């Protein structure tokens, strides 16, 4: 069942009178992003926008009877109010707190070739309050040679390190803290009904660009399937659809 606006709650510094649109995007190697559009009651919120802080947070919850479940928690990264014919419309953008690791480019090196990837990752993120990482790839593997960070953000460096294992970073969108998984999380298993609307395609151009059969690849590796469902799934979940593992 699809979630209606009456089943969600937005917690932010700006009191919404009515929600018009909610969009949430969550992808590997990227920061989670939430966009909320709606209406506020009066011009007092214009003053609130002028006093907006980089420490402001936005939370999205799904209401379930007397309880509720967090769907997204992050930082408010953009807010704007427009006034037309006496109506104040607001658009808020929230970003997962992993973006705090993607703000400043740095130049430094990590010279201990005997340290593990887990130790290196810990050194990189230790300055971020509330940080945490769960390792699903390369945790006990030694880096083998010095690692240089040259005009990269910490997030870009971490993404590059994960690629050494053909792995990805997955940001945490349920806590407003700089937390992520190094490697694909181990999620739950789901089998979807066959009658769900879907679009399937095979990107043969990407298959050729990646080296094709000579690189040990198969066209099935470049199969994409977009499914429309009212249920929520997490990155890393194991999904079966029409007898195919996605």
Domain spans of the chain?
5-95, 101-182, 189-245
Q: What element of type H or E holds 179?
A: strand 179-182
- At 195, the pLDDT band (50, 70, 90 cuts) reads confident
Q: Do 54 and 75 contact (CB within 8 A), yes or no?
A: yes
What's the pLDDT at 48?
66
Q: What is the pLDDT of residue 237?
A: 84
Total length of the chain: 246
Share of the chain above pLDDT 70, in %: 94
Distances (CA, A) of 245 to 156, 223, 225, 231, 239: 30, 11, 11, 17, 6
Q: What is the pTM of this model?
A: 0.86
Instruction: Tell me 105's DSSP state.
Output: -
pLDDT at position 177 over 90: yes
Q: State the average pLDDT over residues 163-167.
A: 93
Q: Reduced to 3 DSSP states, what percent helix, strand and coil does the chain have, rounded to the nearest 5?
A: 20, 40, 40
State the first-to-last Cα distance of the chain, in angstroms, to the nearest integer: 21
Could you tell me what percent of the chain has a pLDDT over 90?
A: 54
Upper half-sphere CA count for residue 57 (Cβ side, 13 Å)? 13
pLDDT at 20: 92
> Cα(86)–Cα(107) distance, rounded to whole angstroms?
50
Topology (CATH level 3) of domain 5-95: Thrombin, subunit H (2.40.10)
CB count, 10 Å around CB of 158? 23
**Residue 1 — very low, low, confident or very high, per pLDDT cuts 50/70/90?**
very low
- Comparing 226 with 104, the larger pLDDT belongs to 104
Average pLDDT over the chain reads: 88
Residue 2 pLDDT exceeds 60:
no
Please check the confidence at residue 53 and state whether its pLDDT lies above 50: yes
CB-side neighbour CA atoms (13 Å) of 20: 9
Evaluate if residue 194 carries a pLDDT over 70.
Answer: yes
CA distance 230 to 222: 25
**97-111, 181-195, 217-231 — which one is most confidently predicted on average?**
97-111
pLDDT tier, 45 (very low <50, low <70, confident <90, very high otherwise): low
Q: What is the average per-residue pLDDT within 87-111?
A: 95
Is residue 113 over pLDDT 90? yes
The model's confidence at residue 235, banded by pLDDT at 50, 70 and 90, is confident
Over the stretch 19-37, which tens digit does the pLDDT of each residue have? 999 999 999 999 999 999 9
101-182 carries CATH number 3.20.20.450 = no
């Amino acid at each position: 069942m699809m979630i209606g606006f009456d089943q969600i709650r937005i917690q932010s510094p700006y009191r919404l009178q009515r929600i018009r649109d909610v969009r949430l995007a969550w992808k590997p190697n990227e920061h989670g992003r939430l966009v909320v559009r709606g209406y506020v009651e009066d011009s007092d919120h214009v003053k609130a926008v002028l006093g907006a802080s980089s420490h402001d947070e936005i939370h999205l919850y799904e209401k379930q009877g007397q309880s509720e479940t967090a769907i997204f928690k992050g930082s408010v990264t953009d807010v704007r109010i427009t006034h037309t014919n006496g109506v104040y419309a607001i658009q808020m953008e929230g970003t997962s707190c992993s973006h705090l690791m993607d703000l400043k480019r740095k130049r430094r090196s990590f010279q201990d070739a005997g340290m593990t990837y887990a130790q290196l990752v810990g050194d990189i993120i230790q300055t971020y309050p509330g940080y945490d990482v769960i390792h699903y790839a390369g945790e006990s593997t030694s880096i083998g040679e010095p690692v240089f960070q040259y005009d990269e953000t910490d997030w870009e460096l971490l993404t590059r390190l994960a690629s050494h294992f053909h792995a990805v970073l997955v940001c945490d969108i349920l806590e407003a803290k700089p937390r992520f998984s190094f490697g694909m999380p181990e999620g739950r298993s789901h089998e979807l009904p066959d009658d769900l609307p879907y679009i399937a395609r095979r990107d043969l151009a990407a298959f050729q660009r990646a080296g094709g059969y000579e690189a040990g690849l198969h066209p099935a590796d470049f199969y994409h399937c977009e499914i429309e469902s009212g249920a929520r799934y997490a990155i890393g979940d194991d999904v079966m659809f029409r007898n195919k593992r996605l």
